[in-house]
Structure 1
Amino acid sequence: MENVPSPRVVITGVGVVTPLGNDPNKLITDLRGRASGVAALTQVPRGVLSIDFGAEASDFSGDISDYGPMDKKLQRTIRKGSKVMCREIEMGVAVAQLALTDAGLTPEDRDRDRTGVLYGCDYIMSLPEEFAVGIGKCTDDEGNFDFTKWGDQGKPEINPLWLLKYLPNMPASHIAIYNDLRGPNNSITVREASAGAAIAEAYSTISRGHADVLIVGSTGSRIHPLRSLHADMQETLAANRSDPTKMSRPFDAQRDGSVLGEGAGAMVCETLEHAQARGATILGEIVGYGSSAVGPAFGKTFLQTAIRNVLRAALGDEPAENIGHIHAHGLGTVECDAQESAAIEAVFGSADKQPPVTTAKGNLGNLGAGGGMVETIASLKALGGELFPILNCDSLSDDCPINACVDGSTAAGSQFINVNVTPQGQASAVRIRSFS
């Protein structure tokens, strides 16, 4: 049997929704300019949780104008469909439409049976308001809930389509339906590692010859009445500061936790042959990836081991000196940053031998499942120019032996590795280079 080389997989369009706006070019400019998206929360009541600040995607309203230019028919369809989309799903659909526009991928340019969608997401929590009326009908004057009333009086008050607003496979479903994309369709839900895992699966799917084009994205929000409460109870969040833009401090000696954020990103991935045939502008090429899961049962250094595994896998046979920069997870917690730094040192050597290391979380906070895609797009936009520095890393911590990028004169290089990890030890990494 003849050995046929796998097709090269390239990126031809991107779209973002972030706490620094919804334009990829503005995003990289703001990151280089040390702008912060952390401000007072508006979607979560202040004075209730331990924190009153977060990184909201305040420029995203859900209005149809946020989805970019489209014909009137598609606008009407999406506007109607938004009735069964929560904010996370709306953001996910919007960045896909923005990426399609950026790629110039029109219906005439694609085979709908070989164009699909692959999306990363997280579990999405319902808003309490969905159940308020029904619960009220089952509650007496003293505030006691009577479960025996729920079936007859409470449940009928719930919108029968409410679940469609919160299912994590719905971003990929909506995008495929709106654009008549009949190729492979998949959803990956591994929290912060979702974006890297989605890119890796997209690369594999296209390399196997199962698709010519895939819309690849991820969306997430940690700013939500219940989700924020869960994070406050279960995770280490950065303490309030008089200047909230100083709260997220990746790898800094005074870091004390992560900052809640929200956002989404998407890219159009296609075979090189397909992209060249339609005259597309090629932004970069996917050339490596890694995935690993190392749980707490492994021991105290489980995060370090998971990150080390995916860095090695994404690097592959590529000489370490060819990596222009590493876009670290950079969560901002004492433990995670220390273990990530140790993993980088294990793979690349001491700080003087490492590529420059940066992260956008100082500017954007933790966007959950959406973070890895936004970070990947930021690094992609930086290639060939200056790398954005780590915001608020004023004094690199002794337990973070990395080549931290803290100034604006560092070159981003021609390729990078982006890495993300969940608190449970699920990690993903991707390696992307400039196209040549």
Structure 2
Amino acid sequence: MVSNSRRLVLTGFGVLSPIGTTPDAFWQSLVAGASGIRPISLIDAAELPSHIAGEIPGFSARAMMADTKYRKELKSMARTVELGVIGAQLAVLNARLSKGSVPPARIGIEFASLMGASELNDLAAASKLTSPDGHTIDMGAWGKDGLGEITPVWMLKYLPNMPACHATILYDLQGPSNTQIPGDTAGLVALAEAARIIRRDTADVMVVGGSEGRINPITLARYNLFVQMSRRNDDPTRAVRPFDANRDGTVLGEGSGVFTLEALDHARGRNAQILAEVVGWAAGVDRGKTGPGLARVIRNALASAGIRPADVDHVNAHGTGTTVGDAFEARGIAEVFGRDTPVFAPLSRFGNMGAASGLTELACSVLALKHGELPTTLNHEAPAADCPVAVHTGAPRAVTKPYAVKVSYTNLGQCAVAVVKKWDS
């Protein structure tokens, strides 16, 4: 951490998730133990081995876009971008900020997103024209005739920097702007970089978020081929079983989680609501996914916050429900906390949302600290011998300590950790 001691607080939250699209609805679903995992309806996925996911019911960016003049830009946004732009809008409004309320050069954005998978219809005409046998593309014909069938702005629908790009235009965010892309850790990496920006006094407010829409044919097919996906299609709400002996894989989800991060002096100056304080962060790599590398990142985050493991109320785990992933994460957590600190794994409620996962999962802990109770972890029924952590189940428990630790990782072993503190003064 840099020497600047500027304190950092979260002052707004926007969410689009399978269990709620407002902070209140999201929280009530968490407390009630609700699940948003269901059979996929956005496309016909019945032939896939795993055809359940966390969908957002009835999501319409057009209906939610507050700036009616900007709705015309939706035609150049894939679903991932739409989710990010609307999520950013919700966070800014929730923070009671408006365009121009902060000097444009003093408000920026750090966003987590990945390259989106193309919608099949965008390439259908070119594919038909350049595939004489219906199976193999003639690349010469593609270059000569196929490209003319694709809109010139096709790629702008899918580039990972598009959510941040559109948000900067909508809210005149002229401060630092960047997009983070390291998969499931991208949201926490974005939060850490935004925190450093404010600590350097380069901005007073940063919009920090992540979005990803994974329910499309290409992404679903790829994950079914290369990732351990749950086959509990007949029981979707109980499919993802974090750290459970009977876990059989994860499911995908879609959504966005966006915060406004603000310097405490600036937040107090405008009498802003404060949800929690961001006090520590760290990132690194556990190349072999053995556990010690993740433990090192957790310790670095605790050190940056100036706290000990005993100060932590709970660890918010990624908890994907995969055999290898859960065992790896549990080893890293256990090396630091043993079985003394409750582990909470909310992903089983809404699926793995990739770049949107880290901050959406973090929001669960932010709300738990704010409301003073920690919701249960769904579907953890038989503790696994290879997952030596104390998973919180049963009724919501009272929050008894001021800090929560959020852990995230990728299949490549990238790790990121954030530490938040209950707001008191």
Q: TM-score, normalized by length of structure 2?
A: 0.95
1:3-402 matches, cutoff 5 A? 5-65=4-64, 67=65, 70=66, 74-77=67-70, 79-140=71-132, 145-296=137-288, 302-316=289-303, 317-349=306-338, 351=339, 353=340, 355-383=341-369, 384-402=371-389
Paired residues of 1:24 and 1:378 also in contact (CA < 8 A): no
Deviation track 1:382-416 (CA, whole Å, cap 9, x = no partner) reads 11422111101012112222121102241234321
Unaligned runs of 5+ in 1: 297-301
Deviation track 1:239-288 (CA, whole Å, cap 9, x = no partner) reads 13422111111011111111111111100011111111111011111000
Distance 1:157 1:5, change over 3 A: closer
Instruction: Give, in angstroms, the shift of residue 434 of structure 1.
Output: 1.6
Residue identity opposite 1:403 in structure 2: A
Instruction: Give, in angstroms, the shift of residue 141 of structure 1.
Output: 6.1
CA distance in 2, matches of 1:400, 1:143: 45
Deviation track 1:335-357 (CA, whole Å, cap 9, x = no partner) reads 111121111111113x1x2x211
Deviation track 1:63-122 (CA, whole Å, cap 9, x = no partner) reads 232x4xx4xxx3211x11111110001000111100011000123430101100100112
1:405 lines up with 2:392 in the alignment: yes
- Structure 1 counterpart SS, 2:255: strand
Instruction: Give, in angstroms, the shift of residue 142 of structure 1.
Output: 6.1
Residue identity opposite 1:332 in structure 2: G
CA distance in 1, matches of 2:298, 2:183: 18
Distance 1:114 1:138, change over 3 A: same
CA distance in 1, matches of 2:32, 2:332: 29
- Structure 2 counterpart SS, 1:107: coil
Q: What percentage of residue pairs aligned between the two structures are identical?
A: 35
- Structure 1 counterpart SS, 2:132: coil
Mean Cα displacement is larger for which, 393-402 or 159-168?
Answer: 393-402
1:419 lines up with 2:412 in the alignment: no
Mean Cα displacement is larger for which, 315-324 or 109-118?
Answer: 315-324
Counterpart in the other structure of 1:299: none
Unaligned runs of 5+ in 2: none
Paired residues of 2:211 and 2:355 also in contact (CA < 8 A): yes
CA distance in 1, matches of 2:93, 2:134: 55
Residue identity opposite 1:26 in structure 2: A
Instruction: Give, in angstroms, the shift of residue 61 of structure 1.
Output: 2.1
- Structure 2 counterpart SS, 1:419: strand
Alignment length (residue pairs): 419
- Structure 2 counterpart SS, 1:95: helix
Mean Cα displacement is larger for which, 217-226 or 180-189?
Answer: 217-226
Instruction: Give, in angstroms, the shift of residue 123 of structure 1.
Output: 2.4
Residue identity opposite 2:192 in structure 1: A
CA distance in 1, matches of 2:325, 2:309: 23
Distance 1:142 1:58, change over 3 A: closer
CA distance in 2, matches of 1:327, 1:145: 46
Q: TM-score, normalized by length of structure 1?
A: 0.92
Paired residues of 2:330 and 2:388 also in contact (CA < 8 A): yes
